[in-house]
Chain A
Amino acid sequence: MAENLNDKSPAGIPTVIADSVDIVYRVNGTGAGRGTATAALNRMLRGKKVEKAAGVRKVHAVKKVSFVAYKGEAIGLIGTNGSGKSTLLKAVAGLLPVENGHIYTDGQPSLLGVNAALMGDLTGERNVYLGGLAMGMSREEIKERYEDIVDFSGINEKGDFITLPMRTYSSGMGARLRFSIAAAKDHDVLLIDEALATGDRSFQRRSEERIRELRKHAGTVFLVSHNNKSIRDTCDRVLWLERGELRMDGPTEDVLKEYEAFTGDKKPKPAAKPPAPARTAEQPKAAVSS
């Protein structure tokens, strides 16, 4: 019974299951007290019950999202800025705790990204090793793939840059090396957050190719992007999040059509721009309850 909830049932094997997931951020020092000493003192003395009074704000970033992802699927996550896409991705990766509900996964989903592990003061070469180790590769694996990583990044096309500290790289070069390191590992469930936007045109083409390759090895790929074209090129199913809620879940074309109508990308509706009443215009994107 559960298998036929989704028309992908022939594939059959679920890899990620989100079961009415809620994610809430707590931010200190905002709201009425706005980080004054008295507000902080109040917070310490009176504990959690006065979170509201003492200026702890809760940001409800993802609300009651449920979906089942199957092996072999490439799923796009779309939505306007601040709709909770990246937050949801991090929760699937197990990097953010959920407030309510559960996320079940097959193996360890990995976020494509090693930026935080790399150090600008070290040479590109040492960063390749450091990044690889941080992702859980062994030294031998990295040694084996080292040439591929450097060639793919194209860092050495304009001279021997890989032996220079990364802080001396241009931003494009740095982004290319980071992507190359991150993409060097095969994953069961791969989560990609806007990675396709890096580098020049020829590097973007190579990246898209590499992602398709990764998808072949990976069980399931999730892709967050604002680029509808790269979603169309890589994904066969799309989840649309808006204000933390799952607004649509279905085949890429169907969802993107609705989404484009929503954002006004294509085929703007006749009465597209009447002055919006102030009340609606001021509504915050992420639901904030203080």
Chain B
Amino acid sequence: MSQVLHTPPPTPAPAPADDDLAALAARHGLSVSGARPTLGEYIGQLWARRHFITAFATAKLTAQYSQAKLGQVWQVMTPLLNAAVYYFIFGVLLGTKQHVPDYIPFLVTGVFIWTFTQSSIMAGTRAISGNLGLVRALHFPRAALPISFAIQQLQQLLFSMAALVVILLCFGVPLAPSWLLAIPVLVLQFTFNAGVSMVMARLGAKTPDIAQLMPFVLRTWMYVSGVMWSIDKLTKKDHLPHLVTIALETNPAAVYIDLMRYALIDSFHASQLPPHVWAAAAGWALITGVGGFIYFWKAEETYGRG
């Protein structure tokens, strides 16, 4: 650094007065760089990038297992192994299966549907903070990232659903027209997941520590969502305070899980569903989907800072 001593005195460039520059910019119709677009423009930009969003999701999904010897087989193996572990603990060791008919289809549906929500939220939390390189290098509406991760999880779930169909048929659950209900359930659940992901992405971008906390929150949420036990068995016993019953029944994860079981498993009857279940499913999707998107957009220009 010795050369610092021998430099000629700094010759600052003639800096024009501030208002001149602002006026010059205004006269030639220049816009402020990096300003947040209006909500309408933002949706337009997002739509223009739809191919990037899906391509990024597919690329992430394919890259996930590309180093493994079995490759894409893990897409199906991972959820199946998960279900096997829960079956061993809750079905065999704790004996929940005596209370629930078709316990394996019941459990596996629960695990797969829950995993969809869980991993979308986890991926959403890291969507911005884990991709700062991308955010700092390229210009695109940032909501593309959490949405793309939610789509990746949806693709992952479709693999799991293929495995689920095989399991259901193996355990003698008949193919029925009600299986078509799985489609609206998945659409609503996806909207809900994407909404929560966007909220978590904004929180995680500001405070990366949240990613450390989320596994605990999510595990608690899983245990109260009736993934391995039937919520209606508990709520119909009448010994719970009313508020707890309502909370258990309107819990979005439980709503989507029970709806999917209702759609796929013939021994899971409508009477086991919480009241107003479709309204709850649609309401959660609408509120979190729209709310999450607006909440995320409000901080659009701050992502990638510091």
Contacts and interface: CB of A to CB of B under 8 A. Distances in A.
B180 interface: no
B55 A133 contact: yes
B21 A106 contact: no
B305 interface: yes
B137 A115 contact: yes
B3 interface: yes
Interface stretch (B10-18, B215-223, B249-257, B271-279): B10-18
Interface stretch (B31-39, B110-118, B284-292): B31-39
B67 interface: yes
A20 B15 contact: yes
A108 interface: yes
Given A5-B20, A66-B21, A136 B15 contact: no
Interface stretch (A31-39, A96-104, A147-155, A169-177): A96-104
Contacts of A206: none
Contacts of A96: 34, 136, 304-305
A3 B135 CA distance: 35
A117 B138 contact: yes
Contact of B11 (A20, A25, A248, A264): A248
A202 interface: no
6 contacts: A15-B30, A19-B21, A19-B25, A97-B305, A102-B32, A130-B56
Interface stretch (A45-53, A209-217, A221-229, A275-283): A275-283
A276 B10 CA distance: 19
Contact of B12 (A18, A25, A116, A247): A247
Interface residues of A, number: 80
A276 B55 CA distance: 56
A136 B63 contact: no
Given A14-B30, A119-B59, A134 B140 contact: yes
A121 B306 contact: no
A245 B10 contact: yes
B68 to A, nearest CB: 11
B242 interface: no
B302 interface: yes
A271 B1 contact: no
Interface string B57-92: 001101100110000000000000000000000000
Given A262-B3, A274-B2, A67 B13 contact: yes
A269 interface: yes
Interface string A7-25: 0000001111111100001
Contacts of B136: 90, 95-96, 116
A99 to B, nearest CB: 10
Interface of A: 1-3, 5, 13-20, 25-27, 64, 66-68, 90-98, 102-106, 108-111, 113-117, 119-122, 126, 129-130, 133-136, 138-139, 165, 239, 242, 245-250, 258, 261-264, 269, 271-276, 280-281, 283, 285
A92 B33 contact: yes
Nearest to B62: A122
A93 B12 contact: no
Nearest to A277: B5
A139 B139 CA distance: 18
B237 interface: no
Interface of B: 1-8, 10-16, 18, 20-25, 28-35, 48-49, 51-52, 55-56, 59-60, 62-63, 66-67, 131, 133-140, 301-302, 304-306
A1 B32 CA distance: 22
A139 B51 contact: yes
Contact of A283 (B4, B13, B22): B4
A103 B301 CA distance: 14
Contact of A247 (B11, B52, B135): B11
B15 A116 contact: no
Nearest to B4: A280
A25 B33 contact: no
A94 B140 contact: no
Given A13-B28, A19-B25, A25-B306, 15 more contacts: A17-B24, A17-B25, A19-B22, A20-B18, A94-B33, A105-B33, A116-B133, A121-B62, A122-B62, A130-B52, A248-B13, A261-B8, A272-B6, A274-B5, A280-B1
Contacts of B3: 262-264, 272
Given A126-B59, A134-B56, A135-B138, A94 B34 contact: yes
Nearest to A246: B13
B18 A19 contact: yes
B49 A64 contact: no
A97 B6 contact: no
A276 B306 contact: no
A66 to B, nearest CB: 4
B210 to A, nearest CB: 13
A11 to B, nearest CB: 12
A134 B304 CA distance: 16
Contact of B137 (A64, A116, A262, A280): A116
A103 B52 CA distance: 28
A61 to B, nearest CB: 11
Contacts of B134: 116-117, 134
A253 B169 CA distance: 78
A23 to B, nearest CB: 10
Contacts of A264: 3
A130 B59 contact: yes
